[in-house]
Amino acid sequence: MTGIDLTKLFTRKHFGKWVAIVDNKKIVGVGKHPKGALSQAIKKGYKNPSLMIAAGNYANIYP
């Protein structure tokens, strides 16, 4: 293994939104607020997903 690859996980519909992810493989919640992403995940049975913001470009992450 040479790192965690999230390049194919996020699609255009996720960009700019909070996502709840598990095992670096699956998006189990999406929302404009992390609370929305987490509640979707919990409804699907995932109690402790990782929260982050999905983007189409992570280069130059500082403005």
Partner 1 sequence: MKFWYTKLRANPHLTSSGKPYVYIPLVDVDLFTSDRNKSSLKYRVLIDSGADKCLFHGAIGEMLGLDVRSGKKSPMRGIMSKQGDVFYHNVIISLYGQEVESVVGFSYDLDIAFGLLGQVGFFDSFRVCFDLPRRDFDVTPKFAN
Binding site for partner 1 (CB under 8 A): 1-7, 10, 18, 21, 24, 33-35, 38, 48-63
Nearer of residues 3 and 45 to partner 1, judged by Cβ: 3
Q: Shortest Cβ distance from residue 22 to partner 1 (Å)?
A: 10
Shortest reach from residue 40's CB to partner 1, in Å: 14
Instruction: Please state, in angstroms and rounded to a whole number, the distance separating the CA atoms of residues 12 and 46.
Output: 23
Least Å from the CB of residue 26 to partner 1:
14
Question: 13-17: long-range contacts (C-beta < 8 A, 24 or more apart)?
Answer: 14/54, 15/54, 15/55, 15/56, 16/53, 16/54, 16/55, 17/53, 17/54
